[in-house]
């Protein structure tokens, strides 16, 4: 055969040389030719065809057909010579697709195009080889049979399946199932299911089909006839048994096209704007387009990477990967990581018991399953070599580990600050998940998954502060490698903290120990969607401050964190999909120092604490083809701000309780104008918060509701209207402000209108002006008529508040009182002009009007609503 090819090439060269022009500068230069490969395969089947010079070991090119479509034509420039063309069999969705002549040779002639068509067809044998059970010592398999067929199942250690019916170990078969028992926990095994059928082509001899990197090469000779006396190219499967107790590895069944790469199989991996560019080592078969590639932890990829092949270079060595999900790489995947923590006190009792009962969890540097695989026999050299690569790849420690507790570094932007911190953050939790493409909760489905996870953050410590202004605490990120093999999965927590002080303060040991956590448990399936239950747990204890020197300040402390968990987390790669992501803020606390209302002259400290969540699950980390509309899955229980039980706490206890207040004053009858009859009214708040005073409208008295003492609301702008009453907020105002509210006060009255339009005339004033315009301290008010707010900026549907009416926004309705304005005698630095809301009503039908105001985000710097005489009327 070689002689014939050589003669053909030589003859072609003579013809080319013979017709060359004498004027040619280089009449003896041999021009290259072209190989044109047309790959045909059913829609949904991706395939690679390798082209290699017969005298070379490295492929010249790899022609790749994507899964979409039925035909792909690739042209490759090639030097004159003989080339080997190989088309390995493919297993897609459980079906074996193969080419009648998978190994061919072609001749490339000068300036000629050599055309070749490679056609993939379903083998017609057994299909859908899959696991129905994985334990620590057994693998249970099942498949779909073909008519009049006999089956042979062989098993090998590692990820290289037996390449012929005589290799490996026979596994007993019962019908279309098999149980392979007596295996070792945490090991991976490869299976080959051979079929002997009337509908299989055969030859006079077996040509040694072999398996390499997810593809079968070799096959039957040309001119084969249909026969029943030969074994077919096998279906294959690689599975990992359930790991032993204490292991962080997963049990799995890989997709036949998945490449679980070792360090030796990768020459380089470079993050890009869209994923990772990978250069394969020589001899590593090229994965098909759309196949999953799992990259191990490395210096470049600190958290490893799970991607899918988006493009392949001409020579088949360079792959462009984009981020994938677990279902891209596995038919079955199950991880039970067990509890992890940096602080044992953060664990629930159940998690602590689980750790005590389990064998010691291996460190990232020595994962249990890959390093303790069943030793291969001396004759299984391929499996031994592959296992050595696996050991080297997984033994490399991750560059990050979850520190026992990360200390904080204080940085302030304002002058005159002198803070010191003894502040630490720790994390803990668990992560268990299962993905199964065949059986979900005992029912045969397309694909399904279960998720059971929990995460908690704990902060502890205190600050000594001497400052006026704001500071930030730099806290090192916390990273935990939850699992290394077969796909690296990690969790990254990035904490941050803020300190703010209103007024000048010198205080020691102000702080808190707080723990906040969530749990999420449920199922995902493409047929039934997501079904989850969630819960949260939290506790907090403040420190006892001391060494106080102050001018009635308020100290705000917030600890927040961003959280991401999933495959590849820890690697700085664009587009990594976090399975769980969002924010978990262990606490947002305020420490308020004021004079005790019940004991004048005594210092009273009031501590309030909340924690906030904005967490969700991203379905595409499990299933890349999840419907776009429901990719992010969350619940009300994992979103919002929640108060810690038992707060507020006071030092000394009860110091914030005022003496029994006198009855609240009632509004004058002059508040009601024409066309209304008062039925009843009531006031919520304290008697100090309401009053009939002058100063808010020139030359007139008004009925005023204040978030602080009404006595402090009257005066001049040089006075400070700031009273911490320690009162609750208002739910409706909290919804309007988008922030927690405090020290709420409200006046509610029922009137019977005579007209068809009810009018309410009011003024809104605040001490938050002008310094905190545009901030979170957006004190809010509302006029609710039958439950609907009508206090809008005129001509809009924007609620009146500090951030919506000021010197920069809607200034036509704003009065700047910071330096004082003639006719006004209020200490508030800003207020609105008198505004009116008009609401259609039915004459003679009672109407409920509720006017409310509250501090937002904190309870200092008061705000007020003033109702002018005759300000409630109808016509």
What pLDDT is attached to residue 248?
86
Domain boundary among 225, 240, 255: 240
* 199 located within any domain: yes
Question: How much is the pTM?
Answer: 0.64
DSSP letter for 801, please.
Answer: B
Domain match, 412 and 443 both? yes
Answer whether residue 430 shows pLDDT above 70: yes
What pLDDT is attached to residue 7?
42
What pLDDT is attached to residue 546?
64
Domain match, 557 and 637 both? yes
Answer whether residue 14 shows pLDDT above 50: no
Task: Calculate the alpha carbon distances from 462 to 468, 509, 510, 626, 662 in Å.
Answer: 18, 5, 5, 45, 40
Indicate the range of 665-674, 848-857, 866-875 predicted with least confidence: 665-674
CATH number at residue 99: 2.60.40.10
What pLDDT is attached to residue 505?
58
* 345 located within any domain: no
Share of the chain above pLDDT 70, in %: 78
Answer whether residue 408 shows pLDDT above 80: no
Domain match, 110 and 196 both? no
Domain match, 132 and 154 both? yes
Answer whether residue 561 shows pLDDT above 80: yes
- The chain-wide mean pLDDT, for the chain, equals 79
Q: What is the mean pLDDT of residues 256-267?
A: 93
**SS3 for 391?**
helix
Domain match, 413 and 502 both? yes
* 92 located within any domain: yes
What pLDDT is attached to residue 43?
95
* 849 located within any domain: yes
Q: What is the mean pLDDT of residues 70-89?
A: 92
Distance CA 454, CA 434 (A): 15
Task: Calculate the alpha carbon distances from 43 to 89, 92, 124, 526, 624 in Å.
Answer: 16, 11, 17, 22, 19
- Distant-in-sequence, close-in-space partners of 661: CB < 8 Å, separation ≥ 6: 686, 687, 688
Domain match, 720 and 610 both? no
* 398 located within any domain: no
Answer whether residue 413 shows pLDDT above 60: no
What pLDDT is attached to residue 628?
63
pLDDT tens figures, 28-76: 678 899 999 999 999 999 999 999 999 888 889 999 999 999 999 999 9
Answer whether residue 393 shows pLDDT above 70: no
Q: Confidence band (pLDDT; 50, 70, 90) for 404?
A: very low
Domain match, 628 and 544 both? yes
Tally the domains of the chain. Answer: 4
Distance CA 332, CA 832 (A): 64
What pLDDT is attached to residue 495?
83
* 599 located within any domain: yes
Domain boundary among 217, 240, 263: 240
Domain match, 45 and 187 both? no
pLDDT tens figures, 123-144: 888 888 999 889 999 999 999 8
Confirm if 373 and 384 have CB atoms less than 8 A apart: no
Beta bridge partner(s), residue 231: none
Domain match, 541 and 627 both? yes
Domain match, 591 and 519 both? yes
What pLDDT is attached to residue 263?
92
Answer whether residue 756 shows pLDDT above 90: yes
What pLDDT is attached to residue 788?
94
Q: Number of H helices and number of E strands within the chain? A: 7, 58
Confirm if 433 and 454 have CB atoms less than 8 A apart: no
What count of residues does the chain have? 875
Q: What Rg do the C-alpha atoms of the chain give, in angstroms?
A: 37
Indicate the range of 14-18, 140-144, 236-240 predicted with least confidence: 14-18
* 9 located within any domain: yes
Confirm if 737 and 780 have CB atoms less than 8 A apart: yes
Domain match, 116 and 142 both? no
What pLDDT is attached to residue 693?
87
| Dihedral sign of CA atoms 772, 775, 776, 782 in order | positive
* 262 located within any domain: no
Domain boundary among 240, 265, 292: 240
Backbone torsions φ then ψ of 313, nearest 5 degrees: -70, 165
Confirm if 431 and 491 have CB atoms less than 8 A apart: yes
What is the domain range of residue 59?
A: 2-122
Confirm if 90 and 45 have CB atoms less than 8 A apart: yes
Domain match, 688 and 643 both? no
Answer whether residue 761 shows pLDDT above 90: yes
Distance CA 120, CA 46 (A): 10
What pLDDT is attached to residue 110?
93
């Amino acid at each position: 055969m070689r002689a014939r090819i050589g003669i053909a090439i030589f003859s072609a060269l003579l013809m080319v040389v013979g017709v060359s022009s004498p004027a040619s500068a280089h009449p003896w230069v041999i021009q290259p030719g072209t190989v044109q490969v047309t790959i045909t395969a059913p829609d949904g089947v991706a395939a690679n065809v390798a082209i290699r010079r017969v005298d070379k070991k490295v492929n010249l090119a790899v022609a790749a057909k994507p899964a979409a479509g039925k035909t792909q034509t690739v042209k490759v420039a090639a030097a004159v010579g003989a080339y080997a063309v190989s088309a390995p069999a493919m297993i897609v969705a459980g079906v074996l697709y193969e080419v009648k002549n998978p190994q061919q040779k072609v001749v490339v002639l000068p300036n000629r195009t050599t055309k070749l068509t490679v056609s993939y067809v379903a083998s017609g044998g057994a299909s859908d080889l899959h696991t129905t059970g994985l334990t620590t010592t057994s693998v249970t398999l099942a498949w779909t049979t073909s008519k009049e067929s006999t089956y042979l199942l062989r098993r090998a250690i590692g990820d290289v399946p037996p390449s012929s019916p005589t290799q490996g170990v026979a596994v007993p078969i019962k019908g279309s199932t098999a149980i392979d028992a007596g295996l070792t926990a945490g090991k991976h095994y490869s299976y080959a299911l051979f079929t002997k059928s009337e509908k299989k082509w055969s030859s006079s001899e077996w040509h040694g089909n072999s398996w390499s990197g997810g593809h079968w090469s070799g096959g039957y000779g040309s001119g084969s006839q249909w026969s029943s006396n030969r074994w077919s190219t096998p279906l294959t499967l690689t599975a990992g048994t359930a790991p032993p107790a204490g292991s962080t590895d997963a049990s799995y069944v890989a997709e036949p096209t998945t490449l679980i790469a070792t360090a030796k199989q990768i020459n380089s991996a470079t993050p890009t704007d869209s994923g990772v560019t990978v250069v394969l080592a020589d001899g590593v078969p090229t994965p098909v387009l759309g196949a999953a590639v799992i990259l191990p932890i490395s210096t470049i990829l600190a958290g490893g990477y799970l991607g899918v092949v988006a493009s392949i270079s001409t020579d088949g060595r360079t792959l462009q990967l984009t981020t994938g999900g677990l279902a891209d790489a596995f038919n079955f995947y199950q991880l039970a990581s067990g509890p992890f923590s940096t602080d044992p006190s953060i664990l629930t009792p159940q998690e602590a018991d689980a750790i005590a009962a389990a064998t010691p969890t291996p460190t990232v540097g020595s994962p249990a399953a890959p390093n303790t695989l069943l030793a291969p026999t001396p004759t299984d050299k391929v499996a031994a070599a592959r296992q050595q690569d696996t050991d080297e790849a997984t033994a490399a420690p991750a560059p990050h580990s979850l520190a026992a507790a990360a200390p904080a570094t204080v940085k302030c932007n304002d002058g005159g600050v002198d803070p010191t911190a003894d502040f630490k953050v720790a994390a803990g939790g668990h992560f268990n998940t299962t993905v199964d493409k065949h059986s979900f909760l005992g029912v045969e489905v397309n694909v399904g998954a279960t998720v059971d996870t929990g995460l908690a953050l704990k902060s502890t410590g205190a600050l000594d502060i001497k400052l006026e202004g704001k500071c930030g605490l730099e806290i090192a990120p916390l990273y935990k490698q939850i699992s290394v093999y077969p796909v690296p999965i990690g969790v990254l927590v990035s904490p941050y903290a803020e300190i703010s002080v209103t007024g000048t303060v010198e205080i020691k040991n102000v702080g808190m120990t707080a723990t906040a956590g969530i749990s999420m448990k449920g199922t995902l399936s493409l047929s039934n969607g997501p079904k989850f239950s969630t819960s949260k747990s939290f506790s907090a204890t403040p420190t006892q401050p001391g060494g106080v020197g102050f001018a009635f300040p308020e100290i705000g402390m917030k600890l927040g964190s961003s959280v991401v968990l999933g495959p590849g987390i820890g690697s700085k790669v664009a587009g990594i999909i976090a399975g769980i992501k969002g924010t978990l803020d262990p606490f947002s606390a305020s420490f308020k120092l004021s004079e005790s209302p019940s004991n004048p002259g005594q210092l009273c400290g009031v501590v309030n604490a909340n924690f906030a969540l904005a967490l969700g699950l991203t379905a595409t980390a499990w299933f890349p083809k999840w419907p776009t509309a429901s990719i992010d899955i969350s619940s009300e229980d994992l979103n919002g701000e929640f108060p810690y039980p038992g707060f507020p706490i006071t030092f000394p206890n009860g110091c914030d309780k005022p003496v029994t207040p006198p009855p609240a004053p009632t509004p004058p009858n002059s508040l009601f104008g024409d066309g209304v009859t008062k039925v009843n009214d009531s006031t919520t708040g304290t008697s100090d918060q309401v009053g009939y005073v002058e100063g808010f409208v020139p030359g007139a008295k008004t009925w005023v509701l204040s978030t602080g003492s009404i006595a402090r609301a009257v005066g001049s702008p040089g006075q400070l209207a700031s009273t911490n009453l320690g009162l609750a907020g208002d739910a409706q105002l909290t919804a309007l402000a988008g922030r927690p509210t405090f020290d709420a006060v409200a006046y509610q009255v029922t009137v019977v209108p005579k007209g068809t339009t009810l009018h309410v005339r009011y003024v809104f004033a605040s001490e938050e002006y002008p310094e905190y315009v545009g901030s979170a301290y957006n004190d809010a008010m509302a006029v609710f008529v039958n439950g609907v707010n009508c206090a809008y900026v005129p001509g809009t549907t924007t609620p009146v508040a500090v951030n919506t009416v000021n010197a920069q926004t809607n200034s036509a309705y704003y009065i700047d009182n910071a330096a004082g304005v003639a006719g006004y005698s209020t200490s508030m630095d800003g207020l609105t002009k008198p505004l009116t809301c008009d609401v259609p009503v039915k004459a003679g039908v009672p109407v409920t009007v509720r006017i409310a105001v509250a501090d937002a985000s904190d309870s200092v710097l008061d705000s007020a609503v003033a109702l002018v005489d005759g300000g409630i009327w109808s016509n």
